[in-house]
Amino acid sequence: MRRWRFLRTLRARLTVTHLIAMLVVTAVYATIVSALIVRNASQSLDDRLRNDFRWAATMAQQNPDGRFTWFEDDERPENNPWLNVSNSDGETIYRTPVAIRSPVPESEWLVNNADGSIAIVPNDGIPFRVLSGQANIAGQPVVIQIGRSEFFMREELAEFFLVLVIGLPLSVTVTSLVGYWLARRSLSPLERMTKYAQAITADRLDERLPFDNPRDEIGRLVNAFNALLDRLEESFQQARQFTSDVSHELRTPLTVMRSVGEVGLRGDRDATDYRTIVGSMLEEVNRLTDLVDRLLTLSRSDIGSLKLKAETVELGELADGIVSDLDVLAEEKNQTLSVERVDSALCVADGVVLRQALINIVDNAIKYSPSASQIRIRTFTVGAHSSLEVRDMGPGIPPDLQQRIFDRFYRYGPDASGNIGVGLGLAIAKSFIEANGGELVCESVAGEGSCFRVQLPRKSLPANPEGCR
């Protein structure tokens, strides 16, 4: 396996793949071209023989003594063909000097089978092509045999194949080197990305990968990776902030319990004092338990482990039930809870989870609204959504903080009673509503109260087919 270690790099694999592709393409191309060249050269030689035969049949000259002559000797051997003329009895009546110097043993047999075809016969190791055909010269029937050697054709083919043997490997080698250079240059940004990525740690998530061209494939990859680093950095910041907030929230009740316990251990006390001390500690335990339960709820929502049961929910009926449950809290502050149903607001959601989210919203409105104020709940439908609004008469929220109030552990000042909550109620509400496919938004004007609007996919009534899609 060691011999293939060089293929572990993408650059090497691209180069080898390019080399193999070039070899296959070149081999196929060379085979096809060679076959065509050989066929054309052979056909060209046959065509030249036929032209020589026609010329020999029409250009014969008869001497005064009655003998026939044909070609004059040519200094170039390729233009001086092999010619043998026989009469009807098979006797040779004319031969060119080339035919005299290079006799063909099969000539006699070819004279007897002169059908105009071309025969290939051996001649001193180099094949010789002979065309034998009948003709009529000066009223006498004769057999004309015209021949040419394949020497010059083979010489030209040898030169062609020599060019292929030398040129093709050279071209493949040059192309492979160019391909390796291109692969190396094209992949160099990836090597640079690797070095930068290896240097990015949890403490250096603010660094980003460099790129040359944001529009090419590598540039788009770098953009996607940098976007991933953006999300990762944000997640780490949230995790650090979450850990810090949780540590702070857990430290407070633990510090109180420790302080109360230390005070209780100082000196002798009666049962009433110990009961008071234990009661204070239990209050902090309850606060701590509530905080842990809320954090577990948010954790389940984050990882998608909340098991939702889809059912038809009428937001007006759900609002009536919430008002019935929280009316006691409102009465303690002399507040009024009211529900206004504009129309039937049906949706498909988990009723238990959605109810908990709405309870957090209404409870938050009760806490931050002053005494003797009114909290109005309104349900209605708009387009493909069923909506529920909770309007209070609290201090309102500045525009730049209206998104932060849904962050975990974020608290916008104390409530109307001066208490500072944990800062998880609205975060849980938003998470639960989004888990049901809805949306929670806040509209508020400082000093004029706030409006929290829940929008959920609408379920149409059978009589109204134009519902949500």
Q: Which residues of 453-466 are buried (b: 16+ CB within 10 A; e: fewer)?
A: bbbbbbbeeeeeee
pLDDT at 420: 58
* Confidence at residue 242, expressed as pLDDT on a 0 to 100 scale: 64
Q: How far is CA 405 from CA 69, 400, 428, 441, in A?
A: 118, 10, 11, 11
Instruction: Classify domain 311-457 at the CATH topology level.
Output: Heat Shock Protein 90 (3.30.565)
Residues 178-204: pLDDT tens digits? 887 877 777 777 777 777 777 777 777
Q: Which residue has tokens 């030689």?
A: 45
Average of per-residue pLDDT across 60-73: 64
Looking at residue 4, what is its pLDDT? 54
Contact 61, 68 (CB under 8 A): yes
Q: What is the predicted pLDDT for the residue at 456?
A: 93
Element (H, E) at 149: strand 140-149
CATH topology identical between 10-155 and 239-302:
no
- Percent of all residues in the chain with a pLDDT value above 90, rounded to a whole number: 10
| Average confidence score pLDDT of the chain | 79
Q: Position 14: which residue type?
A: L
Indicate the class that CATH gives domain 10-155. Answer: alpha beta
The per-residue pLDDT for range 301-313, each reduced to its tens digit, is 655 556 778 889 9
Report, as an integer, the average pLDDT of 225-244.
75
Flag the least confident range among 197-206, 364-373, 397-406: 197-206
> What φ, ψ does residue 262 adopt, rounded to 5°?
-65, -40
Q: What is the pLDDT of residue 329?
A: 85
User: pLDDT tens across 94-126, in order?
Assistant: 888 778 877 777 777 878 778 888 888 877 777
Nearest by Cα to 452 from 368, 372, 371, 343: 368
33 vs 416, higher pLDDT: 33
Give the confidence band of 465 by pLDDT, cuts at 50, 70, 90.
very low
Output the pLDDT for position 378: 93
Fold of 239-302: Helix Hairpins (1.10.287)
pLDDT (mean) for 339-354: 88
Report the relative pairing of strands 140-149 and 336-341 from DSSP bridges: unpaired
Which tokens sit at 203?
């403490």
Q: What per-residue confidence (pLDDT) applies to 75? A: 47
Q: In this structure, what are the phi and psi dihedrals at residue 100, rounded to the nearest 5 degrees?
A: -70, -40
What pLDDT is attached to residue 303? 57
Report the C-alpha gap between 144 and 56 in whole angstroms: 8
Which residues, other chains included, contact 42 with Cβ-Cβ below 8 Å and sequence gap of 6+? 153
Q: Are 222 and 209 in contact (CB under 8 A)?
A: yes
Rounded to 5°, the CA angle 106-111-114 comes to 115
What confidence tens digit (pLDDT) does each residue in 210-232 have?
777 777 777 788 888 888 888 88
**Residue 346, burial from CB neighbour count under 10 angstroms (0-12, 13-18, 19+):** buried
Confirm if 34 and 158 have CB atoms less than 8 A apart: no
- % of the chain residues with pLDDT over 70: 81
- Looking at mean pLDDT, say which of 94-103, 388-397, 416-425 comes out highest: 388-397
pLDDT value for 377: 93
Query: What mean pLDDT do residues 74-78 have?
Result: 49
The answer to which of 50-54, 193-197, 426-430 has the lowest mean pLDDT is: 193-197
Predicted confidence at residue 461, as pLDDT, reads 53
Domain ranges of the chain: 10-155, 239-302, 311-457
| Confidence tier at 464 by pLDDT (50, 70, 90) | very low
What is the rounded CA–CA span in Å between residue 336 and residue 334? Answer: 7
pLDDT digits (tens, 9 = 90+) for 7-32: 667 777 777 887 888 888 888 888 89
Q: What pLDDT shows up at residue 5? A: 58
Q: Above 70 in pLDDT, residue 469?
A: no
Q: Which of the four pLDDT bands, split at 50, 70 and 90, describes residue 3? A: low
Task: Say if residue 414's pLDDT is above 70.
Answer: no
What pLDDT is recorded for position 181? 82
pLDDT for the residue 39 = 92
Confidence (pLDDT) at 66: 62
pLDDT value, residue 6: 54
For residues 195 and 207, the answer to whether their CB atoms sit within 8 Å is no
